[in-house]
Chain A
Amino acid sequence: MNRFIVAAALFIAALAVAHVGTNAPIFANATQEIFFTVGHGKDNADTSSVRIQIPAGVTAVRAANSDFGKPVIERGANGEVSAVTWTKPDADLLETDYGYYKLALRVRTPNAPFTTLNFLTTQTAKFTDGGTTQYKWFATTPAEIDLDAGIEEAPAVRLLPARRPGWNKYTVPAAITNLSQWFGDAAIVWKGTAAYSANAETMNQINMTSGVSALSMLSANDEIWVKY
């Protein structure tokens, strides 16, 4: 795929706590920007640093400056960028938690459409007396969430296949049970004579069309038509 840059920011909120969000859509096998939005600090303390771990398969990582100043990278055994940390000087800390921050990486994503990348993130907040507290945005499944230990849902990026306006034909590699997570911006998705749309009016039309049923999930190796 030719190099291109996607610069649409979308804050993703889940559960009762605003998470470290990411933008969408993000495409497989492409060079693009990924934004991480930090919607709040912790315990009324301003965010002082954010460390984002780079998942396997993500390459050509470059980090942008932010309100936290210059990024600092860590490298793995093979020289690949394994983590990026932004740290705010103490002199720039806000007296209470009212800040909103956006951190940017430009990366090349792996050629793995319909898979999810989890960017494990450590968010540190600092009190005015110098004490610190942390969120560990590490959980990749609901079972891993441990609120008492400060472990919450990791920022997740769903890799979409390349697309063109109009009809696109795909074979999904694994089952998809939540169609809205993957096809929320599609006009319609077809599997045989079953269809899905995140648009409620289109779903009404699907239900009113003779010979067509509502599509609720996909199985591995299903062939689908998607219109954008």
Chain B
Amino acid sequence: MGCPNNPSPPGDAGVDAGPMTLRPCLDRPGNEPPGAPGAALPCDLLPPSFGQ
């Protein structure tokens, strides 16, 4: 797969951030969160062979 989903960063010290959550990977230029105007394809719509 193109790039993995990244876990959200840990919460502030002393604060329980709750369960780990996943967000679309943001390491590709222009890969803004889904729904944003002008957003490129999210990683989960990239095929396993992409970028190989």
Asked if A205 is an interface residue, CB under 8 A from chain B, the answer is: yes
In the complex, residue of chain B having the shortest beta-carbon distance to the beta carbon of A167 = B48
Interface string of B36-52 (1 = CB under 8 A from A): 00111110010111100
**A195 engages B49 (CB within 8 Å):** no
**B40 engages A205 (CB within 8 Å):** yes
Asked if A154 is an interface residue, CB under 8 A from chain B, the answer is: no
Asked if B18 is an interface residue, CB under 8 A from chain A, the answer is: no
Query: Which B residues lie within 8 Å of A225 (CB)?
Result: 47-49
Interface string of B10-30 (1 = CB under 8 A from A): 000000000000000000011
Interface string of A171-211 (1 = CB under 8 A from B): 00000000000000001101001010000001001101110
**A193 engages B50 (CB within 8 Å):** yes
How would you classify the secondary structure of chain A's contact residues: helix, strand, loop or mixed?
mixed
Asked if A212 is an interface residue, CB under 8 A from chain B, the answer is: yes
Number of A-B contacts (CB under 8 A): 37
User: In whole angstroms, how far apart are the Cα atoms of A225 and B40 in the complex?
Assistant: 19
Query: Which B residues lie within 8 Å of A202 (CB)?
Result: 41, 45
B11 to chain A, nearest CB (A): 30
Binding site for A on B (CB under 8 A): 29-30, 34, 38-42, 45, 47-50
Binding site for B on A (CB under 8 A): 167, 187-188, 190, 193, 195, 202, 205-206, 208-210, 212, 225, 227
7 closest cross-chain pairs (CB), A and B: A225-B47, A209-B40, A190-B47, A205-B41, A209-B41, A208-B40, A188-B45
